[in-house]
Amino acid sequence: LDGTRVVSYDTSQYVYLWDLDTGEKLFELPPEYNYLDYGSVDVVSIKAAGFSDNAVVVISTNAVTGYDEKGEILYQYVPEGEVSNGAINQMANKAVIVERFDGLVDDEYVTTRTFVVIDTTTGEVIKKYDDHLDMSYGYTFAIDYNGKYVAVDRNVDADQDNFFTVYNLETDEYVDCKLSDDCALEAKFTVDGQLAVASMDYDDLLSANDAPMYCQKFDVATGQELWKAMMDDTRAAMDTSYTRLSSTITDIDGEECGRLAFNTSRSVAVLDLYTGELVNTITTDASIQRIGFNSSGSYIYVGTNDGRLTIYSTKPGITITNGVTEVMDNTMIDWFMCNS
């Protein structure tokens, strides 16, 4: 909650809260179960875990729940149907979820999906949006740090145009941003208040062939594409990488510069935030799990699945350290910065 805690969950759907100063496990929440017809039992899946200013926030198939540091429930939002997916932004104190309802309405069986924005300090619903494109909602979300905008991709068939819908929570207006390819990989609101999205072709994502990956920046007020950049993705079989986006405004040689970084499987493109021009390319020998700038924007951190966390200067051509983290079996699944 103040940079001294981390929340995690595992493949068995246990949720843990840890004290980073001492390594102490503060709580462990066991999995929940849905008891279905005919005696079958289904484990409740965890979709996301994070924090608000006052709570540990867990999104599951059944609910959005806020806990205190003892694991006691502070609030719980239970949808009419189930939660398909969701995301949490601690700085904005907001979560977004996609609710799916399957059932009878006026003697007719219907399936509906609703995009819901929740206050993670109270569990109260801020907004609910119906699907105006009749395309369903996808699995990639973005929440801006000021809490004014939220965004979600659309769940489409392969080879169909995909969009990212940006909602203005103050006016309820929305814009649809057309993506370069059908599969959205990552989206982030940038430090200058716009939206960046990485995408590639879904078939290429599943293959082990070289393929283009795109990064686009959109105007959140109009949906207009401001620029587009492309990187070749050299994807190996059984690749474990995740595509990430990070942006910053920093001082380089006395000049204020905007930078946006996004990664393919084994390289990081550092772009000019305002033009999309390629400034620098960082290559790695292993699959990239996460990238990010530090709080001042002077360094870029690149974590790879061989257990290596390498720090680069945002000014091209300088590697600060090649220190290897103490990771069991030399394998990194993911990493995060606490208070940058």
pLDDT of residue 340: 42
Evaluate if residue 325 carries a pLDDT over 60. Answer: no
Q: What is the mean pLDDT of residues 268-290?
A: 93
| Parallel, antiparallel or unpaired: strands 73-77 and 64-67 | antiparallel
Evaluate if residue 323 carries a pLDDT over 50. Answer: no
Chain-wide mean pLDDT for the chain? 89
Residue 131 or 27, more confident: 27
This prediction has a pTM of 0.90
pLDDT of residue 237: 65
Where does 120-219 show beta strands of DSSP type E?
A: 125-130, 141-143, 149-153, 163-168, 174-178, 183-189, 195-200, 211-218
Evaluate if residue 278 carries a pLDDT over 70. Answer: yes
Evaluate if residue 77 carries a pLDDT over 50. Answer: yes
Q: What is the mean pLDDT of residues 300-316?
A: 87
Q: What is the mean pLDDT of residues 191-216?
A: 90
